Amino acid sequence: MNIVLFEPEMPMNTGNIGRTCVATNTRLHLIEPLGFKLNEKAVKRAGLDYWDKLDVTVYSDFQDFLDRNPGAKIYMATTKAPKTYTDVEYEPDCYIMFGKESAGIPEEILVEHKENCVRIPMWGDIRSLNLSNSVAIVLYEALRQNGFEKMNMEGHLHRLHWKDEV
């Protein structure tokens, strides 16, 4: 899987998303300009000690991203989409793109990819969810659809303390 962040502005969100990408063996693609420097403490603090394990690529702009990923199947998460993120079937090597926190993905890009635009349903007049939460929601649906390939599917308790109730 691939997560694409179009001009992300907040280092904590990108750090959190980076940590999610490491935990899911997902590549992270960052399209400039970024609203921060990648070496900022806030990015690394949110990513904890996982940032050095992250597979991340930075692009100068959207065209650079397209040029370096020819033929990429790109789903675009936007509040403007008519269908939800559960209405599509995600390919194992697809790209899921999210826009910057303040404005989302520009409409001129969305129009060119309207058949692959998806949304997360929300109640009422809420404008949007937090970017890192949105990435986790859509990414985990895509991973679920692909059988959580090569992911740990079982946890193990180290100590069990069960009381028999009478």
Q: Give residues with Cβ within 8 angstroms of 136, minimum separation 6.
A: 20
Task: Please tell me the predicted confidence (pLDDT) of residue 149.
Answer: 82
Task: Round to whole Å and give the CA distance between 73 and 91.
Answer: 8
User: 15 a known binding residue?
Assistant: no
Q: Does residue 166 register a pLDDT over 60?
A: no
Q: What is the pTM of this model?
A: 0.89
List the domain boundaries for the chain. 2-145
User: 102 a known binding residue?
Assistant: no
What is the DSSP secondary-structure string of the chain?
-EEEEES---HHHHHHHHHHHHHHT-EEEEESPPSS-TT-HHHHHHHGGGGGG--EEEESSHHHHHHHSTT--EEEE-TT-SSBTTSS---TT-EEEE-BTTTBS-HHHHHHTGGGEEB----TT-----HHHHHHHHHHHHHHHTTTTT-------S--------
List, for residues 137-165, the tens digit of each pLDDT value.
999 999 999 998 877 778 877 666 555 55
Fold of 2-145: Alpha/beta knot (3.40.1280)
Task: Please tell me the predicted confidence (pLDDT) of residue 26.
Answer: 96
Task: Round to whole Å and give the CA distance between 28 and 5.
Answer: 8
User: 99 a known binding residue?
Assistant: yes
Residue 125 pLDDT level (bands cut at 50, 70, 90): confident
Backbone phi and psi for residue 5, each to the nearest 5 degrees, phi listed first: -110, 115
Task: Please tell me the predicted confidence (pLDDT) of residue 162.
Answer: 55
List, for residues 46-101, the tens digit of each pLDDT value.
555 677 889 999 999 999 999 999 999 999 999 999 999 999 999 999 999 999 99
